[in-house]
Amino acid sequence: MAAAEQKMSTSEQKEPYAEYFRRKPAGIPAETLRAIEKGPHSHALALPLEDINALLSPGYLDIETGFCNMPDGSVYVAVKTEMPKVTGDMLDWWFWWHPMQSLRYKIWFPQAHFSVSLDADLEEYSKRSGPYAERYWNTANFLREDVGAGAETFSIKFVRPSDFGFDESQFEKAGVATVVCGLVGSKSKHVKQHTVCCAILCGNWAPGWKCAAGSGSGRRSWFTAITKNRPLTGWPTPN
């Protein structure tokens, strides 16, 4: 489905948040554009999954925004995004709330997000109580979106950070407001699990954090796609 074909149904147009579907997307940050133009960095600068707790350490990594091909055939992507005034509860609420209706997923990125459904009873899911993060843990979302190669169907199963490899005992000291972790699969490619990803939101930045905004919130997204024998098309593989 091309972006120009993306429309709201009659019922979706009546939703109070339908106006957000019509908003023009924010521009791509200059830092991200520079990383794209620069091309892939050395895989030696990538953060291995087994070292993921390095994301909780003060300061920034060698590569906060960039991508590369890994020796095992996987693709590594990292993005640092400033998100002023966004709290951990806001982000956790969003990840619990939006998969209950496709329009909520569409307004996230109208040009590329087409539909979403849950591997759970919708009524039961909507009535879950407790911390927002715990409401979406261990529940799969089925997504229809375009990540650059046309519309595909994906699944994301959100899991507790400790199940992903994080040491949750370090979160408070690191100033972490929330960590969102998911295991991603591709239904159209018949792959049960081919990617892993996470997003970290730091609220009041801990001493040592180098936040461009000085204070507020920022998100560090870490992503690795296991696509064996499928290097990034058009990009050379660095040594």
Note whether residue 231 is domain-resident: no
Contact 223, 200 (CB under 8 A): no
Does residue 192 lie within any of the structural domains? Answer: yes
Q: How much is the average pLDDT of 72-79?
A: 82
Weakest-pLDDT range from 60-74, 88-102, 197-211: 197-211
- What CATH number has the domain bearing residue 150? 3.30.530
Whole-angstrom Cα distance, residue 18 to residue 102?
11
For residue 198, what pLDDT is reported? 67
List, for residues 166-221, the tens digit of each pLDDT value. Answer: 899 998 888 888 888 888 887 666 665 556 666 776 654 333 333 232 233 445 55
Name which of 37-51, 81-95, 213-227 the model is least confident about. Answer: 213-227
Tokens representing 117 are 């459904």
Mean pLDDT, the chain, whole residue set: 79
By residue count, the chain amounts to 239
Average pLDDT over residues 1-15: 77
Domain presence at residue 61: yes
Please give the distance of CA 115 from its chain centroid, rounded to a whole number.
Answer: 16
Please indicate, yes or no, if residue 5 is contained in any of the structural domains: no
Q: Specify the pLDDT at position 41.
A: 93
Domain count along the chain: 1
Among 51-60, 153-162, 225-234, the minimum mean pLDDT is found in: 225-234
Quote the pLDDT of residue 216. 35
**pLDDT of 196:** 66
The pLDDT value recorded for residue 71 is 86
Which whole-number Å values give the CA distances from 209 to 58, 64, 75, 200, 219, in the listed order? 5, 13, 27, 13, 12
Would you say the pTM of this structure is higher than 0.85?
A: no
Average pLDDT score over residue span 45-62: 84
pLDDT at residue 115, as a whole number: 94
| Domain assignment of residue 239, yes or no | no
Q: Is position 9 within any domain?
A: no
Q: Which domain holds residue 208?
A: 28-225
- 133-168 pLDDT, tens digit per residue, is 999 999 999 999 988 888 888 888 899 999 888 899
Number of neighbours of residue 114 by Cβ within 10 angstroms: 21
Residue 13: inside a domain, yes or no?
A: no
Amino acid at position 153, single letter = T
